[in-house]
Structure 1
Amino acid sequence: MAFNFSVLASGSTGNSLYIETEQQHLLIDCGLSGKKMIELLGQIGRRPEDIDGILVTHEHSDHIKGLGIFARRFHTPVYANKKTWQAMSTGIGEIPIEQKFEFAPNTTKEFGGLVLESFSVSHDAADPMFYVVHDHEKQLALLTDLGYVSEHIKGLINNSDAYIMEANHDTDMLMMGRYPWSVKRRILGDTGHISNEESGLALTDVFGDRTKKIYLAHLSKDNNMKELARMSVGQRLESVGIELGREVNLCDTNPDHATELTAI
């Protein structure tokens, strides 16, 4: 049984992923204003009232900006790990206790036939984690906001049907850009973000015969461009014999509009 997904928004200004089956409609992160989240769902013909749950990766504002408003308005259950609940408490306002649920790192939960597997990542947040979505033989891996891709993570996401993969920055653009050195050092560090080149290297290790789509995600508005990300990741994939356009498609994501609702 297939499921559908859309990257509603991805970038340094806000992030959200929509996943659905016939029984379940989920968001992973709600990082834009409540009004913008409603607009993004409308772009794919979906209603906020139908969202059955919001899963949170970590407490940074580009992942939770609209969370409190959305959850309160539409009475949506919210799932996060204990440290993330504590860290984001002041940023989202009060959530009714009956809407608050814990989803621990490195565990699984089932949502109407979908199995979501959480895994810890190295990022400068309280307890950041991302997800692999399983539905029988189908698998979608969401992996952004991390300083490096460990061998353990590669094992978890290996041979996914689709990847939503961070390609945050072009290293040369970052180094020559306007950011102060302290910010550059944070981005480049083990608890920062992975570059186009690092993204491509990781993808060559996890690419498999099932892999058909790779969405390049969380691009920095100041230190990257879609064309650069596609070129860098594409060249790395081609260097190990992966044929773009035949074996796999590289897809863009956008900071302010949704990708097409796609079956996996």
Structure 2
Amino acid sequence: MSLHFSVLASGSTGNMLYVGTENQKLLVDAGLSGKNAEALFQQVDVNIADLSGILVTHEHSDHVKGLGVLARKYKLPIYANEKTWCAMEHLIGNIPTEQKFIFPTGTVKTFGDIDVESFGVSHDAAEPMFYVFHHNNKKLTIITDTGYVSDRMKGVIKGSDVFIFESNHDVEMLRMGRYPWSVKRRILSDVGHVSNEDAALAMYDVITDQTKHIYLAHLSLDNNMKELANMSVSQVLQSKGVDVGRSLFVHDTDPKEATKIQYV
């Protein structure tokens, strides 16, 4: 079985990504309750007990809400960098020492037939990092929760077959919305989240002929809509000559419904 994945949940309310092969099964983040997480795994017919481990991006609750519950119930190892461990330990409860592992930012860790490369992003967390999955010359990247996409990040993720890419907000919806200005300023900052348009411009810099699918992730519940994000990103890419809908497909994700298993 080739590299495959499902965006189990993505959005302001909780985030989980499943990535696997025939031999290895990994979860990135566990930002929903244990009960909801189990229901999402049932949607894609994957047994949580078969997971090789959980990779954590950062300590915010929409990424770790169910982490402690799942890890303890299924005796799953957790991988995170040292600063993230320090920031999230009081949030996830007691984890047995034998289930706690350090995964430094900017390194590669091998899980059977999957090489996982971690890289830092710009977000208001202790040391946020995301992941590139390598298997049989295929490359899958998840990058959300970053205020901007730097040249360094682009160098790591460029040429992925599949991107799970943040498209958090529409700038005008955010500016006109109900959030207090302090929150709006945080979202718009270099340690906040990328907008639909900025995401599309960054995508254009990292897609190659090898790139076939982009999944728009971490959409704000209040400041974005699936249709708007998809249209905005597609229009920017098309304006730059990308054949969206033929050579490259842009997909939606959902905070409560898993995407069907996709093979890379």
Range class of TM-score, shorter chain? over 0.9
Taking the aligned partners of 1:168 and 1:246, their CA distance within structure 2 comes to: 25
- Asked if the contact 2:10/2:16 (under 8 Å) is kept, the reply is yes
In the superposition, the TM-score normalised over structure 2's length comes to 0.99
Amino acid at match of 1:232: S
Identity %: 59
1:48 deviation in Å? 1.3
How many Å apart are 1:51 and its aligned residue? Answer: 1.1
User: Does the 8 Å CA contact 2:2/2:22 hold for their aligned counterparts?
Assistant: no
| Distance in 2 between residues matched to 1:160 and 1:46, nearest whole Å | 24
Q: How does 1:64-103 map to 2 (within 5 A)?
A: 64-103=64-103
Structure 1 counterpart of 2:202: 202
Give the conservation status (yes or no) of the 8 Å contact 2:24–2:52. yes
- Aligned mates of 1:48, 1:94 — CA distance in 2: 20
State the match for 2:244 in structure 1: 244
Distance 2:239 2:144 in 1: 23
Residues 173-184 of structure 1 mapped to structure 2, 5 A cutoff: 173-184=173-184
Distance in 2 of aligned mates of 1:99 and 1:148: 33
The answer as to 2:134 corresponding to 1:126 is: no
Once the two structures are superposed, residues 88-135 of structure 1 have per-residue CA deviations (whole angstroms, 9 ceiling, x without a partner) of: 011000000000000000000000110000001110000000001111
Matches within 5 A, 1:9-48: 9-48=9-48
- Give me the whole-angstrom Cα distance separating, in 2, the residues matched to 1:136 and 1:20: 13
SS of structure 1 residue aligned to 2:190: coil
CA distance in 2: counterparts of 1:227 and 1:67, whole angstroms: 31
Structure 1 position 136, deviation (Å): 2.5
Contact 2:120 2:129 in 1 (8 A): yes
> Which residue of structure 2 aligns with residue 114 of structure 1?
114
Q: Please state how far the C-alpha of 1:244 moved relative to its aligned partner.
A: 1.1
Poorly superposed stretches of 4+, deviation over 6 Å: none
- TM-score if structure 1 supplies the norm length? 0.99
Distance in 1 (CA, whole Å) between partners of 2:151 and 2:111 is 28
Deviation of 1:207 (Å): 1.0
**Cα distance in 2 between the residues matched to 1:159 and 1:39:** 33
Q: Work out the number of aligned pairs and report it.
A: 264
Task: Return 5+ residue gaps in structure 2 as ranges.
Answer: none
The alpha carbon displacement at 1:2 in A equals 2.2
Give the alignment of 1:156-171 within 5 angstroms: 156-171=156-171
Q: Distance in 2 between matches of 1:136 and 1:250?
A: 24
Per the TM alignment, residue 242 of structure 1 is displaced from its structure 2 partner at its CA by 0.6
Deviations, residues 164-218 of structure 1 (Å, cap 9, x unaligned): 0000000000000000000000000000000000000001111100110000000
Q: Deviations over 1:218-256 (max 9, x none)?
A: 000000000110111001100111111111110000000
The one-letter amino acid of 1:208's match is T
Name the CA distance, whole Å, in 2 between partners of 1:67 and 1:206. Answer: 31
One-letter amino acid of the counterpart of residue 252, structure 2: D
Q: Deviation string for 1:35-83 (max 9, x for gaps)?
A: 1111000000011111110000000000000000000000000000000
For 2:161 and 2:25, the matched residues in 1 are separated by 20
Query: What is the SS of the residue equivalent to 2:255?
Result: coil
Query: 2 CA distance for matches of 1:155 and 1:120?
Result: 12
Cα RMSD after superposing both structures: 0.7
Give the Cα–Cα distance (whole angstroms) in 2 for the partners of residues 245 and 224 of structure 1.
22
- Letter in structure 2 aligned against 1:80: A
- Residue 153 of structure 1 deviates from its aligned partner by 0.6
Give the counterpart letter for 1:202 in structure 2: A
Amino acid at match of 1:260: K
Of 174-183 and 151-160, the range deviating more from structure 2: 151-160
Which amino acid is 1:55 matched to? L
